[in-house]
């Protein structure tokens, strides 16, 4: 059987979440870098795999899947069914999915999503509106950690892998997590992940790039 191929960009937070999973499960995956700025997600060949033209995208022997959170849950279900990162227990899955949906629709959107005008070069200022949105998103996210140490219980799950690259990118862009102590403790606990050090290296590069594009870093 051919290995799975992951189309990704090294600094993309959703792609990094999938890479964290690949390392955690030690999956045999071929990595192919896609240069988004050079239009490589819009080629005929890429659009045949993923009409939404997003990375990460996986090609699992002709089964194509985009959307990082769908990829995370698919890879566990397909290659390590029942693994504690995404257990085969409806209520546990439901609690994980709850966090993944919150991440996609609320957290990611209101943090890195609102900073998009900066990465597109449209502005060099982190506006007050952006700061308020990010501070609120972090406060809301922290509520998931009131009753448990990880986002969906007492064990690390794909929900944590989905959130880590977004937080790490902001931390290396200047965010001081001490205002969010539960998130700070969780972030420290993420050191147990096999892909943590590589993820930090990339997050640092993300932060350096971000800082080079703004007049001051991400200070809320």
Ligand X SMILES: N[C@@H](CCC(=O)N[C@@H](CS)C(=O)NCC(=O)O)C(=O)O
Q: Select 56 or 87, whichever has its Cβ closest to ligand X.
A: 56
173 is catalytic: no
Closest CA to 168 of 123, 132, 218: 218
Q: Which residues fall within 8 angstroms of residue 37, CB to CB, at 6 or more apart?
A: none
Based on the shown chain and the rule CB under 6 A, indicate whether residue 111 belongs to the binding site for ligand X: no
Q: Which of 36, 177, 209, 220 binds ligand X (CB under 6 A)?
A: 36
With CB under 6 A as the contact rule, the residue among 16, 68, 193, 206 that binds ligand X is 68
Choose among 110, 131, 120: nearest CA to 209: 120
Residue 54 near ligand X by CB under 6 A: yes
Binding segment (CB under 6 A) for ligand X, from list 49-57, 89-97, 166-174, 212-220: 49-57
Main-chain phi, psi angles of 150, to 5 degrees: -105, 170
Torsion of CA 167, 172, 178, 184, to 10 degrees: 40
- Closer CB to ligand X, residue 35 or residue 216? 35
**Nearest to ligand X of 46, 150 (CB atom):** 46
Q: Active-site residue numbers? A: 12
């Amino acid at each position: 059987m051919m290995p799975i191929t992951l189309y990704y960009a090294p600094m993309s937070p959703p792609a990094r979440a999938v890479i964290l999973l690949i390392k955690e499960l030690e999956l045999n995956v071929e990595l192919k870098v896609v240069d988004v700025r050079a239009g490589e997600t819009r080629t005929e060949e890429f659009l045949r795999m993923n009409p939404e033209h997003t990375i990460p995208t996986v090609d699992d022997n002709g089964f194509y899947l985009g959307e990082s959170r769908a990829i995370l849950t698919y890879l566990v279900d397909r290659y390590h069914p029942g693994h504690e990162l995404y257990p085969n227990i409806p209520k546990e899955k439901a609690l994980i999915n709850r966090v993944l949906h919150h991440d996609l629709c609320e957290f990611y959107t209101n943090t890195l999503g609102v900073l998009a005008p900066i990465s597109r070069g449209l502005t060099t200022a982190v506006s007050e509106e952006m700061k308020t949105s990010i501070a609120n998103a972090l406060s809301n996210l922290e509520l998931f950690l009131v009753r448990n140490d990880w986002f969906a219980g007492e064990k690390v799950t794909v929900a944590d892998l989905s959130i880590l690259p977004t937080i790490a990118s902001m931390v290396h862009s200047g965010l001081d997590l001490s205002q969010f102590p539960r998130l700070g403790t969780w972030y420290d606990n993420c050191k147990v992940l096999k892909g943590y050090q590589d993820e930090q290296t990339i997050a640092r590069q993300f932060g350096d790039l971000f800082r080079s594009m703004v007049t001051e870093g991400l200070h809320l």
